Amino acid sequence: MSPTTVAPPPRLELDPRVVRRARTLARRLGRPVVDIARSHTTVSVERATLRLAGLAGADHERVPWVNHLVDGVREQVGLEHGVTTPVWDALRREEAPDLLTLAQKASTGSVSFRIPEKKGELSAARRAARAAVRPGIRRIDRQRAARDRLVGRLGDPPHRPWVYLIVATGDIYEDIPQAQAAARAGADVIAVIRSTGQSLLDYVPEGATREGFAGTYATQENFRLMRAALDEVSKELGRYVRLTNYASGLCMPEIAALAGMERLDMMLNDSMYGILFRDINPVRTFVDQRFSRQVHARAGIIINTGEDNYLTTADAVDAAHTVTVSQLMNEYFAREAGLPDQLMGLGHAFEINPEVPESFRMELAHALLARQLFPDAPLKWMPPTKHMTGDVFMGYLLDGFFNLAGAMTGQSILLVGMMTEAVVTPWLSDRDLALQNVRYVQRAAGGLTEDFRPPPDGFIQTRARQVLSEAVDLLERITAEKAPKGSAPLLEAIGDGTFGLMKRPKDQGKGLDGVARRADGYDNPAITLLEEGTR
């Protein structure tokens, strides 16, 4: 699944003992968080399970039926046992003839839910729920197989890195021709960014949308429309064009399920982004994320993590080691959820202040460190934004250096930088100029990974070792200092503002009221099927 390597990336002389220590510490910090994720559920996990069972649509006020049904169960019996047992028990008791009608009746409070006390009734409800959810999992399997067939027939881009371009007007019917035009101009991955604020909506909008703000709403119908459009242009161009959206925010599990069913290829999915930059409750985030990554693993979807965001709030030199720590944590959580390295698009960014002496050499050191720590991961390399100004000539030069760094260090996915980034909403002409910049660097320097070899103990080698050492020091400090405060030191560190200068306590944040501790009898057939790996 990862982009084809043209030449082996340059090597850094890192101490393997330090690398092993870093991963050991990440594993030690991650395990208690996984234990919390495995012992809790959320409204979004339960809604995602109902979506896999085929429940879709919304009422006249655009409130999805999955929200109505989960809320009805929660009000009567709670979420501690999961929603599928009381839902399919109600169907077996003929409270409604089908799932949609049951949800509609639940919206008016005219359904009685219970947890069956008799063993036979309990087992029958759970068998019925598993049978209802299985087709959704099989649909994800079929979509993954369809992707494999298309890639086999049409092929992947012949170059590395893949060119990743954002297209999002707010109107899906405007996005489609722009996305196809971008693919014809050289884009390999089309990212449809979400409407501003959608990550804080505790529901997924329904249908095709035309009114997004600084982005387009992520909906199942929008996914379907854009995937069909990119399939069309893929056949025209003779290469498979990938589609990206965002599995983050309060509906992370639901969007992951919809993406799997509609064959998206990449999803933004970071372990701490929603916590730090959207103030979503940490426990809610980690529970939702584990489920979403299980779905991504089943669907063969590459995740893109968001370490670049740390460098927009903290200094890119002083905080470089926090990026490495986050990458290590993202790797641990992804592997634990079943994602192989080939689906981990770990993120990093070209965000050092250009006024800093030797800034480009430091960028190369940071990029090579990520490339070597995660050799099989399709790393996502992000362009400069923080230090972009109204000087478009300097901006274009910075983007050229960014593209060159990506070529020299063997990055896998390159988000196209634009000269007016972070100043105004870029014009289409800016996008065309940005793609020209990328194409020039790929033609002129695409093979530099073969020739670029930092000298032993030189500036780049020394800087990379320093960042790795600082990352290990931070991991050890979190492990030692935060352990007495609770069973999950990583959550304590997040609460203290260790990452991105944001303090996010584990008992605060949006979405906390949608978290429930699992009872001993908790059952979720989607999780069971995902963990069994049933085809």
Last residue in a domain, options 245, 278, 313: 245
Looking at residue 6, its pLDDT comes to 52
**Residue 530 domain-assigned (yes or no):** no
* Residues forming the active site: 273, 308, 380
Residues 127 and 177 in one domain: no
Structural domain count, the chain: 3
Residues 272 and 348 in one domain: yes
Nearest-10 crossing angle of helices 282-299, 525-532: 50
Mean pLDDT by 10 residues, the chain (535 residues): 56 95 97 97 98 97 97 97 98 97 97 96 98 98 98 92 93 96 96 94 97 94 98 97 96 98 97 92 97 98 91 88 95 97 96 96 97 96 91 94 96 92 75 94 92 94 98 95 72 87 91 97 97 67
Looking at residue 390, its pLDDT comes to 84
337 vs 340: CA distance, rounded Å: 9
Last residue in a domain, options 133, 148, 177: 133
Residues 264 and 234 in one domain: no
Looking at residue 486, its pLDDT comes to 57
Residues 281 and 330 in one domain: yes
User: CATH no. for residue 281?
Assistant: 3.20.20.440
**Residue 138 domain-assigned (yes or no):** no
Buried-state track 395-413, b at ≥16 Cβ within 10 A, e below 16: bbebbbbbbbbbbbbbbbb
Last residue in a domain, options 245, 271, 292: 245
**Residue 216 domain-assigned (yes or no):** yes
Residues 50 and 77 in one domain: yes
**Residue 230 domain-assigned (yes or no):** yes
**Residue 191 domain-assigned (yes or no):** yes
DSSP 58: B
Residues 361 and 467 in one domain: yes
The boundaries of the domain holding residue 495 are: 10-39+247-382+453-515
**Residue 186 domain-assigned (yes or no):** yes
**Residue 371 domain-assigned (yes or no):** yes
Q: Is the peptide bond before 161 cis (omega within 30 degrees of 0)?
A: yes
48 vs 133: CA distance, rounded Å: 10
Residues 357 and 503 in one domain: yes
Amino acid of residue 153: R
**Residue 328 domain-assigned (yes or no):** yes
126's CB contacts (< 8 A; 6+ apart) are 84, 85, 88, 523, 525
Nearest alpha carbon to residue 123 among 465, 491, 521: 521
> Going along 377-532, which residue ranges are E strands?
380-382, 413-415, 515-517
Looking at residue 10, its pLDDT comes to 79
Residues 371 and 311 in one domain: yes
Q: What angle do CA 318, 323, 326 make, to 5 degrees?
A: 140
Residues 279 and 264 in one domain: yes
Residues 281 and 341 in one domain: yes
Q: Which two tokens stand for residue 264?
A: 């998206």
Looking at residue 485, its pLDDT comes to 56
Name the helix (H) or strand (E) containing 165. Answer: strand 162-166
Q: Please answer whether residues 207 and 173 qualify as being in contact, where contact means their C-beta atoms are separated by less than 8 angstroms.
A: no
Residues 109 and 254 in one domain: no
Residues 175 and 128 in one domain: no
70-77, Cβ contacts within 8 angstroms, sequence gap of 24 or more: 70/43, 70/46, 71/43, 71/106, 72/103, 72/106, 72/107, 72/109, 72/111, 72/113, 73/46, 73/106, 73/113, 74/43, 74/516, 76/112, 76/113, 76/114, 77/113, 77/114, 77/115
Q: Please answer whether residues 322 and 19 qualify as being in contact, where contact means their C-beta atoms are separated by less than 8 angstroms.
A: no
